[in-house]
């Protein structure tokens, strides 16, 4: 295995240092960012994610509000909870944890968010701004993927902007929260982008597209979907998938990605592992977005934030709240 492993834990540690610096600067101005989460029911992965970001918020001194709701909560009550958080001045950013139980419309809950607190860009206004290449917030998982790629490309001596503009970027998975924003961010970097989803797979054509990828990002939620036969020699591969499986040796649940790691590593130039890849970077980006929301709410100039600018190509501006009219 000659591939380089893109170390998400190390990247996250760097981002956490930046978060701590930002928090210290805000404390001097008497501004305390606040993150709120809404979790309906007890989905295993969402609970684990909520716990991780609660601890991270505590570590950096971010105010944290937790709204756990029972599985049988009515949609109107979830919407009312979001309304309460919108009105709470201690909360600068809100995360709606997925999945919501059947019978609750994700669209209705997302539309209930105050767009200025919608740090995952799921409200139609923010999703639209992202698609137009002028994001208010870059959602955390897609941002984490490009942070990992930007950092890797720079560390390998390349000019990321030049590399993206000459690259085939293939994204597997087309969800509103991960796959589609990844495509928009690929466009922002002037890559040639192909989007594949389960229909591509069912049509028997997934390999035909993935094998052309210079950069492959996989976010399908299917254990080991992509093996060496799906990638070309020298691919740079990012694995977003998190799939709990039983370890046959220990009987314990362990997490694996959408890449068949060992086999893809035989051909890849570099790839992200699971765990320890995109997950920890995502956590840090979510907190970064909560801080960004607090800064913009306080009327601070966010146009100079290096961390906020990072997921965009140098030819794109980051638009802060003052630039956007609803």
Is residue 24 a contact residue for ligand NAD (CB under 6 A)?
A: no
Does residue 223 bind ligand NAD (CB under 6 A)? no
Of residues 69 and 222, the one with the C-beta less far from ligand NAD: 222
34 binds ligand NAD, rule: CB under 6 A: no
Phi, psi of 22 (to 5 degrees): -65, -40
Which positions ≥6 away from 326 have C-beta within 8 Å?
Answer: 115, 125
Binding mask 275-304 for ligand NAD (x = CB under 6 A): ---xx--x----------------------
Distance of CA 218 to the CA centre of its chain: 13
Place of tokens 């035909």: 208
| Given 22, 141, 151, 313, the residue binding ligand NAD (CB under 6 A) | 141
Total residues contacting ligand NAD (rule CB under 6 A)?
27
C-alpha radius of gyration, the chain, whole number: 19
Residues 37-56 that bind ligand NAD (CB under 6 A): 45
- Using the rule CB under 6 A, which residue among 62, 91, 100, 242 binds ligand NAD? 242
Q: Which stretch binds ligand NAD (CB under 6 A): 33-41, 107-115, 168-176, 265-273?
A: 168-176
Using rule CB under 6 A, residue 219 touches ligand NAD: yes
Verify binding: residue 201, ligand NAD, rule CB under 6 A. yes
Name the residue nearer to ligand NAD (CB basis): 283 or 305.
283
Q: Per-residue contact track with ligand NAD, 98 to 137, x per CB under 6 A? A: ----------------------------------------
Q: Kindly state whether residue 8 participates in binding ligand NAD, applying the rule CB under 6 A.
A: no
Residue keyed to tokens 């389960």: 198
Q: What does the per-residue mask of binding to ligand NAD show for 170-189, with x meaning CB under 6 A?
A: --xxxx-xxx----------
Ramachandran sector of residue 5 (left: φ over 0; alpha: ψ -120 to 50; beta: rest): beta
**In the bound complex, what is the minimum distance in angstroms from residue 173's beta carbon to ligand NAD?**
3
Which spans of this chain sit near ligand NAD (rule: CB under 6 A)?
Answer: 45, 141, 172-175, 177-179, 196-198, 200-201, 206, 219-222, 225, 240-243, 278-279, 282
């Amino acid at each position: 295995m000659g591939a380089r492993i893109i170390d998400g834990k190390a990247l996250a540690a760097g981002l956490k240092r930046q978060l701590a610096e930002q928090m210290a600067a805000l404390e001097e101005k008497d501004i305390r960012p606040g993150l709120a989460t809404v979790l309906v029911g007890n989905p295993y992965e969402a609970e684990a994610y909520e716990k991780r970001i609660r601890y991270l918020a505590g570590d950096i001194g971010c105010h944290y509000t937790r709204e756990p709701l029972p599985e049988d909560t009515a949609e109107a009550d979830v919407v009312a909870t979001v309304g309460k958080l919108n009105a709470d001045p201690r909360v600068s950013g809100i995360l709606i944890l997925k999945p919501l139980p059947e019978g609750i419309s994700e669209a209705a809950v997302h539309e209930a968010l105050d767009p200025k607190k919608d740090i995952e860009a799921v409200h139609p206004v923010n999703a639209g701004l992202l698609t137009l290449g002028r994001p208010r917030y870059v959602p955390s998982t897609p941002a984490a993927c490009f942070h990992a790629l930007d950092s890797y490309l720079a560390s390998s001596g390349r000019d990321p902007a030049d590399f993206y503009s000459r690259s085939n970027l293939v994204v597997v998975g087309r969800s509103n929260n991960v796959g589609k924003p990844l495509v928009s961010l690929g466009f922002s970097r002037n890559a040639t982008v192909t989007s594949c989803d389960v229909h591509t797979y069912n049509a028997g054509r997934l390999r035909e597209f993935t094998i052309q990828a210079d950069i492959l990002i996989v976010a399908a939620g299917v254990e080991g979907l992509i093996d060496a036969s799906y990638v070309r020699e020298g691919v740079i591969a990012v694995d977003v998938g998190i799939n709990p499986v039983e370890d046959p040796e220990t009987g314990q649940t362990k997490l694996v990605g959408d890449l068949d790691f060992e086999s893809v590593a035989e051909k890849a130039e570099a790839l992200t592992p699971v765990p320890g890849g995109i997950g920890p970077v995502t956590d840090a980006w979510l907190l970064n977005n909560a801080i960004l929301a607090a800064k913009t709410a306080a009327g601070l100039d966010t146009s100079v934030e290096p961390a906020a600018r990072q997921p965009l190509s140098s030819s794109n501006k980051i638009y802060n709240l003052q630039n956007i009219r609803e």
